[in-house]
Structure 1
Amino acid sequence: MTDRPENFTEWYTSERFNVGVRRRRTREGVLRGLGMVSILLAVTMLVTLFGSIFYQARTAFVQTQIGLEVALPAAEFDGGTQAGADAIKDVNFRGLVADALYASLGGRPDSRGARREMLALISADASFQLMERVIEEPSLIGQQSRFWLPASDDMHNIVQGVVDRDVTEDDRRTSDAQINWIERLEDQGMVRSAFAWDLLLRNDSRDPEVAGIFAGVVGSALMLTVTLVVSLPLGVAAAVYLEEFAPKNWFTRLIDVNIRNLAAVPSIVFGLLALAVFIRVFGMPRSSPLVGGLALSLLTLPTMIIAARAAIAAVPPSLRTAAMELGASKMQTVSKVVLPNALPGILTGTIISMAEALGETAPLLMIGMVAFVADAPSSFLDPAAPLPVQIYTWSTSPERAFAAKTAAAIIVLLLFLFLMNAAAIYLRDRVQKKW
């Protein structure tokens, strides 16, 4: 026998019932509090992560430039003011830039070491940018004009405050003489900060102040094109067969289990498989977007099959039955009824898989896509360094300015990922039907 009251009114008003209610509410409050703490902790870590990335990248989107009055005497150019591109390329632009810098700072130093330190104020790529400018505007030949040329990465860090110029000379890479020279140029209004278009429009470089991600973006685009062309048809075809046509027996169950297991395999394993099959067996060119796209196709195919099968299985069975009752064949039912209604889920799974492939690095390292590539690929067989690999390469560079470049490239990569996920949400809501 229990001590429970004989009627429900007494039970609901009893002390034992009230104690149980208080305990349940306490447990619910604790669980709710733990959930809120977990969410707050996750948001805090996310904000900290993005805050640190944006803070570190703050100087990468700014380029420090030095304005020099460069004389372009016509006598230096074969053909004078009518010089062609080949003749312009033969001119010693580095010497012209050096002369302009010496003139801005009071004359050419007698010491060779002092000249070397003075020239270190300007990026080594400044002469090439000046040459490109003259090729674009041959009318500059024979004139003296001010050109805004990129400063070196050390001077950039000094001007932008990344390195404290007030510390002792032993604690920084720049000498006191260089600090004095850059301050003289600042006093003359010959130093400015501009948006770093080189980051977005130029290719990779050994000089961090002019290194860009254009080649990496092009390489990633070509690689994702191969991945999409290969994995989307194969993934949808496999999902349609397994979900609509394959017999339900032990063999198809085994295939289903293996597909789900492949989706959890570390990505570097697919890189080893691509190295063994595509490069060593078929002899495809290393470091090419074609091989990289095929490697990422192996990685994304299981995920794409699972997403497509889930989308196909979510189509109401009544639609299949109605189509079959109206005389449609199995193939017509699948192509005209099932696939159009499963399209939102298939598109969402495809874009998410592509976003996953965009951020992968390990499989690409295994097939040799880690080499320094200075030019953007023009075909699927040219050497390429995709954006994630370029980020990895920059992160291992000793130059301090590459740390900010790495963070900036990560921001660009995250922007692409956000856009792809936003596109997935938009397409899903656009074509989704509610039953």
Structure 2
Amino acid sequence: MTDATLERLPVAKAPARRDIGLKRRYAAERRFRFYGLAAISVGLVFLAVMLLSIFGKGYTSFVQTSVLLPITFDQKVIDPQNKRDSDPNVLVKANYPVLAQRALAERLGISPTDKPQMAALKGFVSDGVRTQLRNMVVADPSLIGTTKDVWVLAGANIDSAFKGQIDLDVAEGNRKVSDKQVAWMNQLRDQGVMEGKFNTGLFTFGASSRPETAGVGVAIVGSFYMMLIVLVLALPIGVAASIYLEEFAPKNRLTDIIEVNINNLAAVPSIVFGLLGLAVFINFMGLPRSAALVGGLVLTLMTLPTIIIATRAALAAVPPSIRSAALGLGASKTQTVFHHVLPLATPGILTGTIIGLARALGETAPLLLIGMVAFVADYPTTPLDPSTALPVQIYMWANEAERAFVERMSGAIIILLVFLMAMNITAIVLRRRFERHW
């Protein structure tokens, strides 16, 4: 080989080009990692801002200001003509807020004849005291003529002021509590008869026009009825449809169309299912509006595609060798599916079902269309009774102008998030507990 030939060989340039290519690939990989971490960080920041906003506004809803009052169950107010034995409705119609107002005046040292002071006491105690004292007297008429210390709820504005949610440094005309009420509030707090207590009413009360007596108890019961209906209908129908499509159905154009439609239904906006439920279950079948039964049927239609897709994926994940071994030992196709394949796919089926139920629990749009936005104060005893749901109750409180309802709304969101987190954690635990790796 001559010297001219050796000079033409690119011996020294090849490593340099290779190094440049590696640097570019490494740089692209670093950029991709940076973009991924940046996207995750932005998402976590927005999630943190949302959670801080919700918890910052809603944690105070779990505490309600109460006042300890010496209630005198005066017979002249409750049953002046002593007719309760012949007419029990007398105990229901009595003016119980007067008893609370007199007890509050006594606690503050105000004379009942001082009309300006007595007028200023209005709104200090919740008007829900009417129901509270009425229920006590109806349950135990022997209270009439006696005096008993009773914890009663403070009014919404007094509650907000006691929690520090109202700026008391601004002019009196620019806030909802007067200087007299602030002075009385401080006096009762110094006496130890006014304090914040755990708000059990948030979990037991129904809808109310008064924020301090509003709760999500009725909404929780309505959501429970709907989730029970979804579970009873969607799980067996979804699993049966999945088993047939995955294990028994022939592969032809018809089954392909069915599979495409199932996948498309999983992506359909939930409000479309609400329109379907309104047209079929209410207008055509005549089922009652605002009933948990109709809500459960609508949510069942919406959840079915999710359960079918998850169940089919769980069945497909079972190795073919399981089926071959069972068939080789003489098992029929049905025995193979129900005795071997289905038990192994159960963790995936449970996970898909719980995730579908969690999605249904948080839906609002389809329930609004079937009338579940109604004002419901009484607990539903059957799925046919008027009821509401947690997301709908949150939507209703979001439209209220009072600050106390915003607090209740954030508290209800926290409760809903706890339910959703519990369901998703349950799905993860079940999958890890029963999942098998092949």
- How does the TM-score come out when normalised to structure 2? 0.92
Residues 267-323 of structure 1, C-alpha deviation per residue, up to 9 Å, x if partnerless? 000000001001111111111111000000111111111111111111111111111
Matched, 1:108 2:112: yes
Map 1:356-371 → 2, pairs under 5 A: 356-371=359-374
> C-alpha distance in 2, partners of 1:164/1:77?
39
Higher deviation after alignment, 297-306 or 22-31: 22-31
Matched, 1:210 2:210: no
| Residue identity opposite 2:167 in structure 1 | D
> C-alpha distance in 2, partners of 1:76/1:373?
30
1:146 CA displacement:
2.2
Residues 73-108 of structure 1, C-alpha deviation per residue, up to 9 Å, x if partnerless? 45656599x989766434432221121122233123
> C-alpha distance in 1, partners of 2:324/2:47?
48
Matched, 1:426 2:434: no
RMSD of Structure 2 on Structure 1 (CA): 2.4
1:259 CA displacement:
0.8
| Residue identity opposite 1:146 in structure 2 | D
| Residue identity opposite 1:107 in structure 2 | S
Aligned to 1:124: 127
Tell whether the 8 Å contact from 2:78 to 2:96 is kept in structure 1 after alignment.
no
Matched, 1:233 2:236: yes
Q: Secondary structure at the match of 2:152?
A: strand
Tell whether the 8 Å contact from 1:351 to 1:421 is kept in structure 2 after alignment.
yes
Map 1:392-403 → 2, pairs under 5 A: 392-403=395-406
Matched, 1:333 2:328: no
Q: Secondary structure at the match of 1:60?
A: helix
Map 1:121-270 → 2, pairs under 5 A: 121-136=124-139, 140-270=143-273
1:429 CA displacement:
2.0
Aligned to 2:25: 24
1:156 CA displacement:
0.7
1:189 CA displacement:
3.0
> C-alpha distance in 2, partners of 1:169/1:4?
94
- In the superposition, relative to structure 1, how do residues 369 and 158 fare at CA in structure 2: closer, same or farther (>3 Å)? same
Map 1:64-83 → 2, pairs under 5 A: 64-73=65-74
Aligned to 1:39: 40
Aligned to 2:3: none
1:58 CA displacement:
2.4
Map 1:3-18 → 2, pairs under 5 A: 5-6=10-11, 14-18=15-19
> C-alpha distance in 2, partners of 1:24/1:85?
87
For this pair of structures, how many residues does the alignment match? 429
Residues 57-78 of structure 1, C-alpha deviation per residue, up to 9 Å, x if partnerless? 1221110112222212456565
1:352 CA displacement:
0.3
Matched, 1:343 2:327: no
> C-alpha distance in 2, partners of 1:123/1:273?
42
1:48 CA displacement:
1.2
Matched, 1:303 2:272: no
Tell whether the 8 Å contact from 1:4 to 1:11 is kept in structure 2 after alignment.
no
- How does the TM-score come out when normalised to structure 1? 0.92
| Residue identity opposite 2:21 in structure 1 | G
> C-alpha distance in 2, partners of 1:158/1:314?
59
Matched, 1:271 2:274: yes
Higher deviation after alignment, 30-39 or 176-185: 176-185
Higher deviation after alignment, 359-368 or 124-133: 124-133
Higher deviation after alignment, 116-125 or 175-184: 175-184
Residues 180-230 of structure 1, C-alpha deviation per residue, up to 9 Å, x if partnerless? 332333343332111111111222211111211111000000011111111
Aligned to 1:59: 60
The equivalent position to 2:384 in structure 1, one of 365, 381, 403, is: 381
Q: Secondary structure at the match of 1:194?
A: strand
Higher deviation after alignment, 363-372 or 419-428: 419-428
> C-alpha distance in 2, partners of 1:395/1:161?
21
Q: Secondary structure at the match of 2:151?
A: strand
- In the superposition, relative to structure 1, how do residues 279 and 409 fare at CA in structure 2: closer, same or farther (>3 Å)? same
> C-alpha distance in 2, partners of 1:206/1:313?
53
Tell whether the 8 Å contact from 2:137 to 2:143 is kept in structure 1 after alignment.
yes
> C-alpha distance in 1, partners of 2:165/2:88?
39
